[in-house]
Amino acid sequence: MHMIIKTPNLFTSDLKKGDSIANNGCCLTISNINNDLLYYNIIKNTLNITTFKKLKKGDYLNVEKSLKLIDFIGGHLISGHITDIATIIKIKNYMNSKTIWFKPYHQSQMKYIIQKGSICIDGISLTIDKVYINKFSINLIPETIIKTSLASKKINQIVNIEVDLYTKIAVNTIEKLFFQ
């Protein structure tokens, strides 16, 4: 599949063909650039494990350039390698914030989702609020509501998730040492 996205003004000014850009948290390689348009080729495997198969013309994406060694890190480190998709099952709106509940498509992802741990949802680094057997919640502050596409999501929509790599390594290591 080919995907073309229109970016904000000047976003492409320092980009070149072959650079990696996170699109809703999924690392994609630029195949072409034309002014403020980025072109990508998306392989079948990427379509199968992300929300891209559900995208429609005009949908908003969260886009982010790759981290440079001199950049300030304002969230947790993410790789752009989507680990699952999740369905939004509940949204609670407050005066200046929002709580969203998610259910991962694969129940096995829940072992990597821990209260007050980190998770990446559609490319947004977030703190996990509550965790139950098959669902978890996050809270959105005003800044995240204003600057990301999560604010416009509805119940039953799907999102890309990337569990925290360090949590995944720790859990997998403990399982190998003690349960195999």
Same domain, 60 and 118: no
Same domain, 55 and 98: no
Flag whether 127 is in a domain. yes
Instruction: Kindly report the number of other CB atoms within 10 A of residue 50's CB atom.
Output: 24
- Give the chain's count of helices (H) and strands (E): 3, 11
pLDDT reported for residue 68? 77
Same domain, 94 and 37: no
Same domain, 168 and 107: yes
Same domain, 96 and 31: no
Flag whether 78 is in a domain. no
Per DSSP, the three-state class of 56 is coil
What's the CATH code of the domain at 25?
Answer: 2.40.30.20
Full domain range(s) for residue 158: 84-178
Flag whether 104 is in a domain. yes
Flag whether 72 is in a domain. no
pTM of the entire predicted model: 0.88
Q: What is the pLDDT of residues 35-77, one digit of tens each?
A: 999 999 999 999 999 999 999 999 999 999 988 778 887 777 8
Number of domains in the chain: 2
**C-alpha to C-alpha distance for 29 and 123, rounded to whole angstroms:** 15
Going by C-alpha positions, the residue among 98, 147, 156 that lies closest to residue 124 is 147
Q: What is the pLDDT of residues 148-160, one digit of tens each?
A: 999 899 999 999 9
**C-alpha to C-alpha distance for 139 and 142, rounded to whole angstroms:** 10
Alpha-carbon distance values, 69 to 66, 73, 98 (Å)? 10, 10, 33
Flag whether 143 is in a domain. yes
Domain boundary among 65, 99, 116: 65
Flag whether 55 is in a domain. yes
Same domain, 61 and 88: no
pLDDT reported for residue 56? 92
Residue 133 DSSP class: S
Same domain, 105 and 174: yes
